[in-house]
Amino acid sequence: MPDKTITCQNCQAIFVYSEYEQKIDQARGTAEPTYCTICKAIKSSEAKHPPKPKTS
């Protein structure tokens, strides 16, 4: 199973999905990533700490 290059669905950056990561995800039963590590971290942070509503 060779390394794969994937395009992030959010920022369109190309990132490598290594053979090692593929094996770990296969063992866990998780799907192939669709977001790069930076976008994934941002989405995770926003989920934990949603932005406060703007008051006008």
Q: Where are the chain's structural domains?
A: 4-48
- The predicted-structure confidence for 26-35, as pLDDT tens digits, reads as follows 999 999 999 9
Categorize the per-residue pLDDT at 11 as very low, low, confident or very high, splitting at 50, 70 and 90: very high
Supply the pTM of this predicted model: 0.73
What would you report as the CA-atom Rg of the chain, rounded to the nearest whole angstrom? 15
pLDDT of residue 50: 84
d(CA 36, CA 16): 9
Work out the end-to-end distance of the chain between its first and last CA atoms, rounded to an integer number of angstroms: 54
